[in-house]
Amino acid sequence: MRLQVKSGARWRRTAITIAVVIVGLIVVGRITGVLVDWLWFSSIGYIDVFWTVLSAQALLFVVVFAVSTGAIWVSGFVAHRCATNPGPSRTSGAFSSSASAAISELADQVAPRIPWRSAIAGVAVVLGLLIAVGEISNWDMALRFLHQVPFGERDPIFDKDIGFYLFSLPAYVALKNWLLQLLFCSAVVAGVVYGVRGDIALDQSSRGLSPAAAAHGSALLGLFFVLKAWSYGLDRFLLLYGDNGVVVGAGYTDAHVELPVLRLLVGVAAAASVVSWANMRWRNYQIAAASALLVFGSSFAFAVIYPALFQRFYVKPSELQLEMPYIKHNIALTRKSYGLEQIAAKPFPAEQGLNLASLQANRATIDNIRLWDVQPLMDTYAQLQEIRTYYKFLSVDIDRYRLGAGYRQVMLSARELEPAMLPANAQTWVNLHLLFTHGNGVVMSPVTEKSTEGLPSLYLQDIPPVANGGPAIREPRLYFGGGDQGYVIVKGSVPEFDYPKGKDNVYTTYSGRDGVAVGSMVRRGLFAWQFDDPNILLTGYITDQSRILFHRNIQDRVRTIAPFLSLDRDPYIVASDGRLFWMQDAYTTSSWFPYALPGISDGGNYIRNAVKVVIDAYNGTVDFYVSDPVDPILQTYQRIFPGLFKPLEAMPKDLRQHIRYPEDLFLIQAQLYRAYHMDAPEVFYNREDLWQFPRELAGIDGGNAPTPMTPYYTIMRLPGAPRAEFVLMLPMVPSQRENMIAWLAARCDPPEYGKLIVYTFPKEKLVYGPFQIEARIQQNTEISQQISLWNQMGSRVIRGHLVVVPIENSILYVSPLYLRAASGQLPELKRVIAAYGDRVVMEENLGEALAALFKEAAPVALPRGTADVRAREALAHYDRAIERLKAGDWSGFGSELDALRPLLETLGAGRSEDQR
């Protein structure tokens, strides 16, 4: 007996030790990260966000851990107290005396030595910790549930506010899954206790349960059926996310068969739970088996087999008629979830009335036709402006600025530091973390202009940035950017490298706002542990004034502050008021919008560009501005984090001039609009008017295969608009056809920002689509011969992207052509291809291409008689206008056209008199 007590105490100590070690490892693994996050959030002014998230995670962890541990312990302890046998060698009437000899012998040896209370408590704690750790990630869902706001519209089936589906239903499903997991763990622990104690017999001759085990199992089975009844109740709402191939959401079968069946199954499961609890007294396994068979058999027969047969033999023969109301629901709510209902449809006559006078009237559009593609321009920037191997242009951004040259579309790229490009023997700890700390400046060039050598004209260039038509930059240093930015330590005893100057280097010291003080030994030790870098603790270069900068990648920085926002792939650099800023579009998304087609890469079916994030490239400050104040998900987060978001009007005015409609959102909307522009259920069902993205040829020799055209930014004057504006646009063509049928545009300039317009072409008129223009370019003998000649002379021809340029009520096509040495990396813009109507031309620059394209269409005729003098004057003015156009002299071109107009009017009047 004394031996058993000592053995029990040893088991108890072992269990306690294991539990303490596990808890200690979890705590130690988290504590340094929490401390570093606390210091960082404090340094950037978002400590309230930190405490809100940490409090929610901690509270959720404690609640889930306490409930899970308590429930599992209760189940195990009840099994221990109610077990009828100390081990399998002692059986009751419920068992035969011929139990498995091996199991009996093992249980005889083990069961008496186990300190059951300590062991059960230890197992409950471990399982409770594992469950709680797995549920921490649901902190966001819990906060949204508690602070939810109504959506303001109701679903068509259950008449519930859509906010119920966005905020409540996900929380109920997560809660149900946790309770099922908890019930399973409780059953396993109880089963193990009963099995070791001998209350469960598994051998052939004595298979069965003791009365205690049978009663306990019936109780747990009753709880399971209660959860199953609740699950069937939730499944009714989940019908609104189904997809039968015709309707996304609940269809006819779901509404008329599945929904009544699920209501029936709720009742069946509830009745089964009552019977299972009654079986705690009867302890008949046949009753439990019959209850389970009834629930799962009914589910299979009525929720799987019957709906499938009903769909096949009743709905399919009359599918359009029966599914029409549900197709309407799908169309309406999908358009709502992606903001497609705001797209205004306008006719576009696609006329052939474009001439040189039209071009002059639309100079802002012509001046901003993009001739530089991203990849050739990035290659050119790299060769001309990276300056040193450790600088890198990671991306090219497209924006617009009001400059001395007017409202110009430009392309620009930040010159970021790439430490991995340092020579191998220079990649020391001091260089990587103390000396080379930041990038320097940006390069900017207009989208249309080129030098005589075919290189871009640079508005901003060199280090420090030199402005040649671009905005002046007083603070060009980039401590925060888009690369793989590791931590750096500033204000140390070693100066920071700033930029090269001849044979010498210029050095600087960071004076910005960012950084966590790292001068004390305690903090140095903390960050050395966090970053797994003992050099932070050992180096002698850190002073009392030193600060450590981390989370320097701008997207990582934003995600750390607001992990609940989805980020656009393309943050872009902005030069404003002499400083550099990054602008990042952020989205609120959900996968729980009813009746909406999943159209986002992660399976989501709701998206809003609700936030514009501005990151100071030098100071690292992050500001979140509300761009969609009516979004209910954002309104919910504003309740959760009241100090995080600012109104868009609080953004500096100059920065507001650079917000743009995000390309990722536009692409998602365009993808869906290909089908969801059809609002008639019959047309949608038959896919009669399905659109697709045009195809184009781009890349070396026009690319290996046609690729879908992607959206692009441009400055243009929309039909009927008073002035040119910055828009994001994409043409559309019919499914399986190549002629253009529409183009979609998103307006970017305030106050019209965010408005979407689709311009539809007359269906009875043929309008050449991009791929048809590509084919005509390929078939043009002059162009194809020139390309073949260049390719045979050791050069490689790179076909640029074809740009569709709507001008007034006509469509102009422009495509650049680059030339690159076979062994070189410096593409040059050598030709511009332009197409209009039936004509395709290729010239050295855009002005010459437009002049050649419209020369034959010019309204000039040879006059007779007394009109000869005026005709010669008109022809002279016209020839000078063409020369001015080729030279890019728009002012002279306009003057010559102004002088030409009265002469042509006089000639026209004289000709009318002659005819009379």
- 65 versus 280: the higher-pLDDT residue is 65
- Strand pairing class (622-626; 756-760): unpaired
Residue 771 has pLDDT above 60, yes or no: yes
The residue type found at 77 is: F
Would you give the distance in Å from CA 157 to the centre of its chain? 30
pLDDT at residue 19 tops 70: no
The SS3 assignment for 483 reads: coil
Phi then psi for residue 562, to 5 deg, are -130, 75
CA distances to 124, 181, 322, 323, 502 from 134, in Å: 15, 11, 44, 41, 57
What are 506-544's pLDDT values in tens digits? 999 999 999 999 999 999 999 999 999 999 999 999 999
Question: pLDDT tens digits, residue range 254-286?
Answer: 999 999 999 999 999 999 999 999 998 888 888
Q: At 582, is the secondary structure helix, strand, or coil?
A: strand
Spatial separation of the C-alpha atoms in residues 53 and 258, rounded to whole Å:
40
Any idea which residue has 């995600």 for tokens?
559
Average pLDDT in the 657-684 region?
97
Residue 86 pLDDT: 55
Q: Quick one: CA dihedral 422, 425, 428, 430, positive or negative?
A: negative
Q: Which pLDDT belongs to residue 757? A: 98
The C-alpha R_g of the chain, in whole angstroms, comes to 36
**pLDDT computed for residue 25 by the predictor:** 62
Residue 611 pLDDT > 60 = yes
Which pLDDT band holds residue 824 (cuts at 50, 70, 90)? confident
Task: Assess contact for 216 and 82: CB atoms under 8 A.
Answer: yes
Give the span between the Cα atoms of 768 and 810, in whole angstroms: 11
In the block, tokens 């761009």 appear at: 627
Q: In whole angstroms, what is the distance from residue 483 CA to residue 480 CA?
A: 9
pLDDT of residue 94: 40
Rounded Cα distance between 586 and 584, Å, is 6
- Dump pLDDT digits (tens) for 373-422: 999 999 999 999 998 989 999 999 999 999 998 999 999 999 999 988 88
Question: Is 628 within 8 Å of 609 (Cβ atoms)?
Answer: yes
CA distance 318 to 306: 18
Q: What is the mean pLDDT of residues 828-840?
A: 94
Residue 419 confidence (pLDDT):
86
Give the pLDDT confidence score for residue 90 in this predicted structure: 37
Residue 118, pLDDT above cutoff 90? no
More confident residue, 507 or 356: 507
Mean pLDDT of the chain: 89
Q: Are 690 and 683 in contact (CB under 8 A)?
A: no
Residue 753 has pLDDT above 50, yes or no: yes
Instruction: Check pLDDT > 70 for residue 587.
Output: yes
State the average pLDDT over residues 146-171. 97
pLDDT score of 908: 60
Q: What is the pLDDT of residues 842-881, one digit of tens each?
A: 999 999 999 999 875 444 333 344 445 566 677 777 777 7
Q: Report whether pLDDT(624) > 70.
A: yes
Name the CA dihedral angle for 829, 835, 840, 842, rounded to a multiple of 10 degrees.
Answer: -20
Model pLDDT, residue 881: 76
- Give me the pLDDT at residue 913, please: 45
Give the pLDDT mean for 692-713: 85
Query: Looking at residues 146-172, what average pLDDT do you find?
Result: 97
Q: Which residue has the tokens 């009742």?
A: 267
- CA 753/CA 320 separation, integer angstroms: 39
- Smallest Cα–Cα separation from 48: which of 620, 564, 643, 621? 643
Segment 46-68 shows an average pLDDT of 97
Comparing 660 with 877, the larger pLDDT belongs to 660
Q: Cα–Cα distances in Å, from 382 out to 338, 420, 456, 501?
A: 38, 16, 12, 19
| DSSP per residue, 190-215 | HHHHHHHHT-EE-SGGG-EE-HHHHH
Mean pLDDT of all residues in 618-628: 97
Q: Please give, one letter per residue, the 3-state secondary structure of 129-175.
A: HHHHHHHHHHHHHHHHHHCCCCCCCECCCCCCEHHHHHHHHHHHHHH
Give the mean pLDDT of 114-126: 86
Q: Which of these, 687, 693, 690, 688, lies nearest to 670 by C-alpha position? A: 693
pLDDT in tens, 792-806: 877 889 999 999 999
Using the CB atoms, write b or e for 850-876: b if 16+ within 10 Å: bbbbbeeebebeebeeebeebbeebbe
DSSP state at residue 618: T
> Is the distance from CB of 617 to CB of 479 less than 8 angstroms?
yes
Read off the pLDDT of each residue in 45-49 and give the average, rounded to a whole number: 97
- The answer to whether 810 and 828 are in contact (CB under 8 A) is no
Distances from the Cα of 709 to the Cα of 410, 534, 693, 730, 798, angstroms = 21, 51, 6, 8, 17
Sequence-distant (6+) residues with CB within 8 A of 12 are 115, 117, 118
pLDDT of residue 485: 84
Helix (H, G, I), strand (E, B) or coil at 647: strand
Omega of the bond leading into 464 within 30 degrees of 0 (cis): yes
One-letter amino acid of 585: D
At residue 703, the pLDDT reads 61
The pLDDT, as a whole number, for residue 89 is 40
Q: What is the pLDDT of residue 803?
A: 96
Would you list the DSSP string of 62-124? HHHHHHHHHHHHHHHHHHHHH-S-SSTTS--TTS-S---HHHHHHHHHHGGG--HHHHHHHHH
Q: For the stretch 728-761, what's the b/e string if a residue is b when 16 or more beta carbons lie within 10 angstroms of its beta carbon?
A: bbbbbbbeeebbbbbbbbbbbbeeebbebbbbbb
pLDDT above 80 for 95: no
Residue 80 has which token pair?
């221990």
What is the Cβ-side half-sphere exposure of residue 229, based on CA atoms within 13 angstroms? 16
pLDDT at 104 over 60: no
What mean pLDDT do residues 320-336 have? 97
Read off the pLDDT of each residue in 178-207 and give the average, rounded to a whole number. 83
Q: What percent of the chain has pLDDT over 70?
A: 89
Residue 602 predicted with pLDDT over 90: no
Give percent of the chain with pLDDT exceeding 90.
73
Question: How many other CB atoms are found less than 10 A from the CB of residue 470?
Answer: 25
231: left (phi over 0), alpha (psi -120 to 50) or beta: alpha
**Measured CA distances, 775 to 191, 810, 838 (Å):** 73, 20, 12
Query: What are the C-alpha distances in Å from 55 to residues 61, 135, 139, 563?
Result: 10, 14, 9, 15
Mean pLDDT, residues 22-37? 78
| Number of residues that make up the chain | 916
Mean pLDDT of 631-649: 97
pLDDT at 858: 42
Which token pair is 128?
Answer: 């409770």
Query: Under 8 Å CB-to-CB from 531, ≥6 apart: which residues?
Result: 487, 550
* CA 264 to chain CA centroid, nearest Å: 41
For residue 99, what pLDDT is reported? 44
Angle at 476 between CA 472 and CA 482, to 5 degrees: 125
